[in-house]
Amino acid sequence: MDERSSSQVIVVGAGPTGLMLAAELSLGGADVTVIEQRSTGTFGESRAPGINARTMEIFGQRNLAQRFLERGRQLPAVLFSGLPMMPKEVDPDWPDALILPQSETERILGERVEELGVPIRWSTELLHLAQDTFGVDLIVDDGGEARALRAQYVVGCDGGHSAVRRICGLAFPGDDPVSHWIVADVQLGNPPNERESFGRNTRIGTYQVSRAEPDWYRVSLMKLAAPNDRNAPVTLDELRQAMLEGLGTDYGLLKARWMSRFADGCRQVDQYRHGRVFLAGDAAHTHSPIGGQGLNLGIQDAVNLGWKLGAVVAGASAEPLLDTYHQERHPVAERVLELARAQTALIKPGHQIDALRNVVGMWLDIPEVMRGMAGTLSGLALRYPWGADLHPLVGRRMPNLSLLTDHGKQDTFTLMHSARPLLLSFNQTKGTVVPDRWISAVDHFEVSPDVDGNSLNWHLPVLGSIPALAAAFVRPDGYVAWVEAEGEPSTSASLADAMERWLG
């Protein structure tokens, strides 16, 4: 075993959650290292291919959105119980959903991490970790050789079978699976026509074939019967037989580049923080793949934790800030798990489920209900509860407003590229003053007073009429922490309170 090396933060896992977290930590000034058991990133696997509107907003805030738009395929709507929900009615600037293989998402985020100079140690498996008052010691298998690492904090982003969670002895309570999936990326000699209905419910399960990218199709086969061995790899013959049983054809199945099993069990750890160890993404919560929420939930976990952990290791904020990661994100995952359970139940076969699906469809056909569900599915309607009794915008995401600054025309998301706290003063004649203590920690922009509440109402119609803003303080993850409405008395004391709370 060689001499111990150290980093401020070690991220375990180089999937989308781990890569996004590493980038956020680096932007916050943290010394971060990623370790990954695989020898290299995924190639040619679609896995979690759906990117929702809120995640696209996050990519926009970090100057990454265009890379995803160039490589992905935009969908005109997202579905719930077969009915289109249209997040564009909540935020018109982004696709309702973007279809992009997970391998491409990892490639883009990997490029970003490389640009930021964050090292990824491939072929490095976590064997053991132990924490003390000042940090965490790790033993890893680095290409067959045991090595010791040291970090102030460790974050497990290593998936549903998380080694970090297992080594820490953390329970993973939840539901055992009722139904089981075979999911594969395949080439078909006789693929279905684009206008054909790809989905089918039968008495033994639910089956779907859809185009993932040119020449490749995603096959999703849900069967009520459990396989003989849930850990056995899927074979091409098993996949073909399942297609024949459920669809009556294998569409001329030629080959598969990736095949896997999933189940509809939902699980979530009770605490996302375990001293100096955190869990994010599938390491903290798992659910059925229906609805495409998992990847988005993990990336949003990473952005929530990244700026907080970066501020603490930089000495800019106190450690209690880290407790807000669990406080904010655990309830979000609870709601997503409930949504996944409901969507999974509604796609199952049977006359009773058919009737339930029809009744749910009638409710979702009501415009107000559809907009509310679209906001939930897309992540755009999220409001952290600490803002519930304040201005309607507080606790919610800041939309991408077009602004006139001293540097010319810019939008809100451009001002967030550096992942720093942001104060926008919309009323130049009044002027919002940043308390001296935080002048160097906050990016402060005075914008033209002709940017008013009408812009907010266009981007946030679900909230109803919003008064024009005088000022807004926005956290690095894009959520509004303080607002002063135009025409109200100055609340500089409450601004100081908000900065004290979030910046320390």
126 and 193, same structural domain? no
Which CATH number covers residue 156? Answer: 3.50.50.60
Last residue of a domain, one of 199, 234, 263: 263
Residue 3 neighbours by CB distance under 10 Å: 6
Is 259 in the same domain as 273? no
Please tell me the predicted confidence (pLDDT) of residue 162: 98
Report pLDDT for 112: 98
User: Quick one: how far is CA 209 from the chain centroid?
Assistant: 25
4 token code pair: 């111990």
pLDDT at 490 (0 to 100)? 56
The one-letter amino acid code at 325 reads: Y
Does one domain contain both 256 and 277? no
Closest CA to 106 of 44, 60, 159, 39: 44
Predicted confidence at residue 364, as pLDDT, reads: 85
Q: At residue 138, what are phi and psi to the nearest 5 degrees?
A: -125, 145
What is the chain's pLDDT, residue by residue, as a tens digit (504 residues)? 445 678 999 999 999 999 999 999 999 999 999 999 999 876 666 778 889 999 999 999 999 999 999 999 888 777 776 667 777 777 777 888 898 989 999 999 999 999 999 999 999 999 999 999 999 999 999 989 999 999 999 999 999 999 999 999 999 999 988 888 899 999 999 998 765 445 666 666 777 888 877 888 989 888 878 888 888 999 999 999 989 988 889 999 999 999 998 888 899 999 999 999 999 999 999 998 877 889 999 999 999 999 999 999 999 999 999 999 999 999 999 999 999 899 888 888 888 988 998 899 888 888 888 888 888 888 999 999 998 888 888 999 998 888 887 778 888 999 999 999 999 988 655 567 888 999 999 999 988 744 444 455 445 544 555 667 788 999 999 999 999 887 666 556 689 999 999 998
For the chain, the domain total comes to: 3
In a domain, 464, yes or no: yes
CATH number at residue 437: 3.40.30.120
φ, ψ dihedrals at 490, nearest 5°:
-60, 140
Cα separation, 478 vs 58, whole angstroms: 8
* Three-class DSSP category at 6: strand
Please indicate, yes or no, whether residues 288 and 148 belong to a single structural domain of this protein: yes
77 part of a folded domain = no
Q: Which residues of 96-107 are buried (b: 16+ CB within 10 A; e: fewer)?
A: bbbbbbbbbbbb
Are 256 and 293 in the same domain?
A: no
Rounded Cα distance between 286 and 270, Å, is 13
Nearest to 328 by CA among 164, 167, 477: 477
Predicted TM-score (pTM) of this structure: 0.91
Residue 125 lies in a domain: yes
CA atoms of 35 and 472, how far apart (whole Å): 38
Q: Helix, strand or coil for residue 491?
A: coil
- The secondary structure of 342-382 as a DSSP string is HHHHHTS-SHHHHHHHHHHHHHHTSHHHHHHHHHHHHTTT-
CA distance to 279, 336, 408, 422, per residue, from 58 (Å): 20, 18, 23, 15
271 and 230 Cβ atoms separated by less than 8 Å: no
In this prediction, residue 202 carries a pLDDT of 66
The answer on 229 and 251 residing in a single domain is yes
Together in a domain, 111 and 147: yes
Are 3 and 107 found together in one domain? yes
Tokens of 423: 């104060």
Q: What range does the domain containing 307 cover? A: 1-49+101-175+266-317
Predicted confidence at residue 453, as pLDDT, reads 44
- The reply to whether 159 falls in a domain is yes
In a domain, 298, yes or no: yes
- CA–CA distances in Å: residue 72 to residues 50, 89, 380, 413, 435: 10, 21, 20, 20, 43
Give the CA diameter of the chain. 72
In this structure, are 276 and 215 located in the same domain? no
Interatomic CA distance for residues 36 and 318, integer angstroms: 29
